[in-house]
A = this chain, B = another copy of it.
Amino acid sequence: MRSSQFFISTLKEAPNDAEIVSHQLMLRAGLIKRLAGGIYTWMPLGLRILRKVENILREEMNHAGAVELLMPAVQPGELWQESGRWEKYGPELLRLKDRHQRDFVVGPTHEEVITDIVRRDVKSYRQLPLHFYQIQTKFRDEIRPRFGVMRGREFLMKDGYSFHASFDDLQREYRNMFDTYTRIFTRLGLEFRAVAADTGSIGGTGSHEFHVLADSGEDALAYCSDSDYAANVELAEALAPTKPRGAAGESMRKVATPNQTRCEDVANYLGLPFEKTVKAIAVMHDEAFTLLLLRGDHTLNEIKTGKLPGLDPFRFATDAEIERFLGCQLGYIGPVGVDPAKVRIIADRTVAAMSDFICGANEAGFHLTGVNFGRDLPEPSIVADIRNVVAGDPSPDGKGVLELRRGIEVGHIFQLRTKYAEALNCSFLDENGQSQFMEMGCYGIGVTRIVGAAIEQCHDERGCIFPAAIAPFTVCIVPMGYAKSETVRTAADALYTDLQAADIDVLLDDRNERPGVLFADMELIGIPHRIVIGERGLKEGLFEYQGRRDTEAKMVPAREIIAFLKARLCAA
């Protein structure tokens, strides 16, 4: 492609509302244009990246035996009512009425539609298994769309759905997809990690997320370098301390802690270790009040907590409720002296093993030190894993310690089991002529989000750094004076033709701009390989080559440039 026949439109500054680097760079490089909140046009340069991602997905999904189809974006509300998600999905489901006042949605996902197709068409175990997928535009009406394509409203997804006669066969396909996703993200050239995941609202049991690793990622991932263990922190288990609780060594004392409401401040004020503090978090389930006890430096894991009996779902107590149940204001609340008939106490496993700890005194301006279970307050009736793991925690599989990385979720595979098959009556006759519900799996990849995640993972102050597999162009030719110098123009045109003949995806930047502008644009766009052609080099038969990650350029004999590039491309 020649720049003059393409459309390159870069910006010096990103708009103010672009909060994260991928959003800023995608706008500056002209990969996307905002049409409305969370709704973007993919400009020619961005679309080239999308298409490269799509092609890799398609090749690997086909190779894995899945079959592509294309379902509609607009779906009848009836099917969502039948599955029960019309009520459950909430305002993220974009609902609308057609001209005949019939309910429709712009689909955020396609479990209902594909299950409807399969229940009409498939009657016998002999027709199973099946795995259909599509690459299709979806809509999710996010309340606060942001971060560009990372949390957009309209987005492109690869979504696949498999149907099976048995759970065993679902598990076989699930492993097949785990391996396929691993191949896909490897081919995309991204550093990623697959982690066990909470299934969230999509339902079913058994799921893994695929995350692109990036410091800016919204998700925290826990993994063990000594084993295969890897999980979203939402799900990672914090084991109980192996060391038994120490004996009480101090007596309980009430100490004044004026204006000290956070555990860290209380510890500093009293000159005691942060790890000796216990914080109490007040939550409600309907009208039932519970105090959750966590070590001061730990954080609450809402997912794990929400699965405990009597806390599904829970919400944080209001100031008025805290006042009513504990007679005290936030910042000084604690578990000592509360009425067990009104206040349930759940201690994190770590807290249950603490002695001589510090906690709120249920009196404004005061804390207690030297507190011990069984002496100053009853043993906690419930001990549970309610905290987020931290680096250095023992791995739940007993094989080492946990490390933490941050990630951006770009893929998710689920074992849905028979959830949708039962809701939509999708059944088949087994070998014995018995009717059974189909076992289902579903497998998603956020196609548009991958582009943002790739930039979050790899960029510098000059712009995007794309993996070669998905860069908008693999190589750019930057002629120094294409319009002015016939020598340069002839050499650039010849190299352009040669690279095309060698099946290398090349951009010839033949715009009539200063070299500084061309360099800056090619770096901003993130093209992995750059060849500069100037009169001085040409006199000695040399081109200048620089990789996007290289700190220096090197001169390469013109006649060796194709072999040189091919070696570079293979190495990448």
Chain A residues packing against B (C-beta within 8 Å): 5-7, 9, 33, 35-36, 39-44, 47, 50, 65, 67-76, 91-92, 94-96, 98-99, 104, 106, 113, 116-117, 120-121, 130, 132, 137, 139, 141, 143, 153-154
Contact = CB atoms under 8 A, between A and B. Distances in A.
**Chain A to chain B: the 7 pairs with minimum beta-carbon distance, closest first:** A96-B96, A42-B70, A91-B99, A36-B76, A44-B67, A39-B72, A41-B71
Contacts of A75: 35-36, 39
Nearest to A113: B35
A43 B44 CA distance: 29
B41 A154 contact: no
A146 to B, nearest CB: 14
16 contacts: A33-B120, A35-B76, A39-B72, A39-B76, A41-B70, A41-B113, A42-B69, A42-B71, A44-B67, A44-B69, A47-B69, A72-B154, A73-B73, A73-B106, A92-B99, A99-B143
Contacts of A33: 117, 120-121
Contacts of A35: 71-72, 75-76, 113, 116
Given A74-B106, A98-B94, A120-B33, A132 B7 contact: yes
Contacts of A113: 35, 41
Contacts of A67: 5-7, 44
This chain: how many copies in the complex? Answer: 2
B50 A139 contact: no
A74 B121 contact: no
Nearest to A512: B126
B41 A73 contact: no
Nearest to A153: B74
Given A7-B132, A35-B113, A35-B116, A69 B43 contact: yes
A42 to B, nearest CB: 4
Nearest to A97: B96
A41 B72 contact: yes
A94 to B, nearest CB: 7
B50 A70 contact: yes
Nearest to A152: B72
Nearest to A7: B67
Contacts of A44: 67-69, 132
A139 B154 CA distance: 15
Nearest to A112: B35
Contacts of A95: 96
A20 to B, nearest CB: 21
Contacts of A72: 35-36, 39-41, 154
Contact of A5 (B65, B71, B98): B65
A154 B71 contact: no
